[in-house]
Structure 1
Amino acid sequence: MSPSFCVCRVRVSTGHCTRCARCASSASRCTRLPDPELERGVRAAHVLRRLGSDFVVFAEPHLKASNMKNLLQKDEKKEEPEQTVPCDHKTASRCLLNLMPVVSETVSGTLLNGTFLPDICLEVVHDRELSKLPFAKSNLTVVLFADISGDAIFCIWKADDKSTLADTIQTVVDCSLNIQKNYGEWPTCIGVTLRVKIGIATGMLEYHFFNDDFDNVHYSASGTVVEYVRNAEMLCTAGDIILTTEAWNFLEQKGVHTRYTYTALPEDMVKVLCFDPSVTEEEKVSFTSAFAGVRPALYALNFEDAPLLKRFISPVVVNIKTQEELIFLSEMRHVTIVFICMPEFIDIDLATLSQLYRIISAALKETDGVLNKVITFDKGCSFLAVFGLPGYKGKNETCNALMCCNKLVHEISAMNM
């Protein structure tokens, strides 16, 4: 089996507004978003956190703020200076007026690194489970997949057992209705109105954790629930909230489905339209709680966890001090991105995934590339790599990307899978 590759040249933001990191949200996107879009993204994700969402990541490919090694160091490979565009922290600050101030360690220590990772990774680090690599974990979950005009957020609520699923699903549906009511249509300063589509499903979700020969650790999420929620989201038009029948049945069994006005779809799904008129008080979400209450997994970390967090972050964040000007952490630059797609690997096992990760990581190491994301759902298994990030800048990064692809074609094909 030979993988397929997509190589393209784009201009992206590689920086991060650490003030936005105080909100456990889409902070990796905050640097370059227009003001209305930024506030909408931060607040919508904050809704998810306040209602118990345990795991928020962008499902669509994007460049995380974790990819900024040597941002404060001189890039020895760069011979010609690149134009940088600083982050406007005023925009970020307006989004966080209702949040309690965060201690200075958030800017320079363990918490800063932790803001770049989903809670499931923080829990693994805090429980000292990295010694068992590679390994997998599974949980009964309720999953929300929100498409925001092409970008997406993948959120997970963990349930103890099926007896608590109805309450959890009700929380997720209420959360979705709040998001659609307050942020379902959001005009931006560039004349584009952002719209939200939400799919909801329940089932077992499996997390894979694996490492390479360079002490790096990565993770992925997979399972039938991911396929179900993706199918639900694909049926949505702008403003829709669609649940799988299995998730809806749990609401019916408890009798709380009467809280909503809904309609059944021929595709064996249910569309929730709004709260039923008999519901006098919609569940409201406050933005005034302290950050520790929003993301407790982050505040559970201690000083000893910091080196372990850096194993997830490649390139590693270094030399960030409280006194540093945050404006120097953000910039725009041209990069080359590579998608390594293996659509045949729909139900990939941990051993194969770990082997692929080691092969791809080694090839990227030789060609100054950085692995940004491992996607094990929606069209098989895919890896997203980036060439030209700070600290890895060179004249011929597109050539490096093509050489890396050529090497991977031969090595992955030789696996005979």
Structure 2
Amino acid sequence: MALGSSDSTTIGKVAAHVPDLIVYGDFSQEVPFIESFDGVLLFADISGFTALTEKFSTDTNLDRGADQLTQTLNHYVGDIVEEVLIYGGDILNFAGDALLALWKVQRNQLSDIITLALKCSLRIQEEYGVRETEVGLELRVKIGLSAGHISKVVVGDNKHQYFLVIGRAVDEVRLAQNLAKASEVILSPNCWELCNRNMIEIERIKDERAVKVGNLEFDEFFWKCTDYLQNYPTGESNSESLFLLLLHPALLFQIDDNQPLEYLSELRPVTIVFVNLQFDESANTLHLCKAIHDANVKISDVIHAFSGKINKVFMFDKGCTFLCVFGLPGDKQADESTHALESAFKIFNFCSEKLMKIKLVSIGVTSGPVFCGVVGHRVRHEYTGTVCFSGPVHVWYPLGTHGVCV
């Protein structure tokens, strides 16, 4: 979505919750389906947000704490998002205190766009690498970059759909970010291979092929890249009905009722089920697409009976993860923990026995307060949640056919 585009219409408000990859994507095929392309990925993780969330949740009442947290988080995240948009990036998704951005380009432009994304990253670190908050805690950002071949996978049904990106570049961007310390930018091995090394000063990381970026000679190169991105074909925008399949009902109600999205921000007690699927090394993109789709259908069916919702589906170095939440607005029920545990057993049994190329299924169940709200920038944001447990955490891990409570 172009920075500064109108958000006065309903479709504009809805489209602000999904990336350009969806707004201008090809959805003419039946789910599940795969679309492959080349691109550059930026993964930014904000450290200090969990401590900040706990501070707001314990120092003030829940309503006031949520308001303050929303303002602090969105002011910081919004600044980072704006930089990515200015540099031509597309915010794929938010995951509480992290975001994943994409520059989708032609293969022969990868080197130039890596330089552009790197300039964006260094700009973010220069301007927003460290920010003091009003409660005396610091927010810091660390960034990983990767590049190469990426696949968009769309799964779901005619009621709700989910998308995620998979591939080596996706695995590497998370690994690069994990190597970064606060205020650092790390290039993944593949990104370092594809970039224009003459323009980048780097520092080697011991026992790693990834590199830490020191400086960048940019000059007039920025304008060459932005001209290219402005002329990059995007296609026709999809209809509003497609976007509705990707959004939470509480969010749709708020938009339809023309209510400020800030009203959705709250510190809310919920129960969360993390489902992590790791696949055999022989699994190709088609195998992954089929397995993730089958898992999505089963998980949705199991948790729907207890008003549970899949909040996020994402794939990084530890496999595909489904973040399922019981107790979101409009879905509160008694005995949520019991329902979550019952669901976890059913999901584990199905995924470990029925999924193609599955290597390991692990599930965690936990209850406590989370921050739920709309995170991001005025023209690109999402309804998301971040765990902020300050008390004991109860986790159930399925081992074989048995469970262990900790």
- Normalised to the residue count of structure 1, the TM-score between the two structures is 0.63
- Residue of structure 1 in register with 2:99 after alignment: 153
Structure 1 counterpart of 2:275, which letter? Answer: I
**SS of match in other structure, 1:268:** coil
Among 382, 389, 404, which residue is 2:321 paired with? 382
**Cα distance in 2, alignment partners of residues 323 and 383 from structure 1:** 30
- Residue of structure 2 in register with 1:307 after alignment: 241
Shift of 1:395: 2.0
Structure 2 counterpart of 1:183, which letter? Answer: Y
* Mapping for residues 396-411 of structure 1, pairs under 5 Å: 396-411=335-350
C-alpha RMSD of the superposition: 2.9
**Cα distance in 2, alignment partners of residues 360 and 196 from structure 1:** 33
Contact 1:368 1:400 in 2 (8 A): no
What are the Cα deviations for residues 216-249 of structure 1, in whole angstroms up to 9, with x where unaligned? 1111111011122222222211121121344234
- Residue of structure 2 in register with 1:335 after alignment: 270
**Cα distance in 2, alignment partners of residues 261 and 413 from structure 1:** 46
- Residue of structure 2 in register with 1:168 after alignment: 113
Shift of 1:345: 5.8
* Mapping for residues 221-300 of structure 1, pairs under 5 Å: 221-252=165-196, 257-266=197-206, 267-276=208-217
Contact 2:170 2:315 in 1 (8 A): no
What are the Cα deviations for residues 140-195 of structure 1, in whole angstroms up to 9, with x where unaligned? 1111111211632211111212x211211110111111111101111111212112
Structure 2 counterpart of 1:339, which letter? Answer: F
Contact 2:313 2:320 in 1 (8 A): yes
- Residue of structure 1 in register with 2:334 after alignment: 395
Shift of 1:139: 0.9
**Cα distance in 2, alignment partners of residues 402 and 156 from structure 1:** 36
Which structure shows the higher strand fraction? 2
Contact 2:294 2:355 in 1 (8 A): no
Contact 2:174 2:316 in 1 (8 A): no
| Unmatched runs of 5 consecutive residues or more in structure 1 | 1-23, 25-48, 51-98, 285-292
**Cα distance in 2, alignment partners of residues 280 and 138 from structure 1:** 32
**Cα distance in 1, alignment partners of residues 343 and 136 from structure 2:** 40
**Cα distance in 2, alignment partners of residues 234 and 360 from structure 1:** 29
**SS of match in other structure, 1:343:** strand
- Residue of structure 1 in register with 2:8 after alignment: 104
Shift of 1:280: 6.7
- Residue of structure 2 in register with 1:115 after alignment: 16
Contact 1:370 1:385 in 2 (8 A): yes
Q: How many residues align?
A: 294
Distance 1:248 1:377, change over 3 A: closer
Shift of 1:283: 5.9
| Unmatched runs of 5 consecutive residues or more in structure 2 | 49-96, 224-229, 357-406
**Cα distance in 2, alignment partners of residues 103 and 314 from structure 1:** 19
**Percentage identity across aligned positions?**
32
**Cα distance in 1, alignment partners of residues 161 and 277 from structure 2:** 21
**Cα distance in 2, alignment partners of residues 320 and 382 from structure 1:** 28
Contact 1:197 1:233 in 2 (8 A): yes
Moved more, 216-225 or 228-237: 228-237
- Residue of structure 2 in register with 1:208 after alignment: 153
Distance 1:300 1:115, change over 3 A: farther
What are the Cα deviations for residues 263-308 of structure 1, in whole angstroms up to 9, with x where unaligned? 23341222211235xx678969xxxxxxxx9xx97x9647xx1222
Structure 1 counterpart of 2:246, which letter? Answer: F
**Cα distance in 1, alignment partners of residues 7 and 298 from structure 2:** 41
Distance 1:187 1:110, change over 3 A: same
What are the Cα deviations for residues 40-65 of structure 1, in whole angstroms up to 9, with x where unaligned? xxxxxxxxx77xxxxxxxxxxxxxxx
1:354 partnered with 2:293 = yes
Structure 1 counterpart of 2:273, which letter? Answer: V
**Cα distance in 2, alignment partners of residues 357 and 373 from structure 1:** 11
Highest RCO, 1 vs 2 (Cα 8 Å, sep ≥ 6)? 1
1:137 partnered with 2:35 = yes
**Cα distance in 1, alignment partners of residues 261 and 145 from structure 2:** 37
**Cα distance in 2, alignment partners of residues 225 and 344 from structure 1:** 17
Structure 2 counterpart of 1:143, which letter? Answer: L
Shift of 1:366: 1.0
Shift of 1:118: 2.0
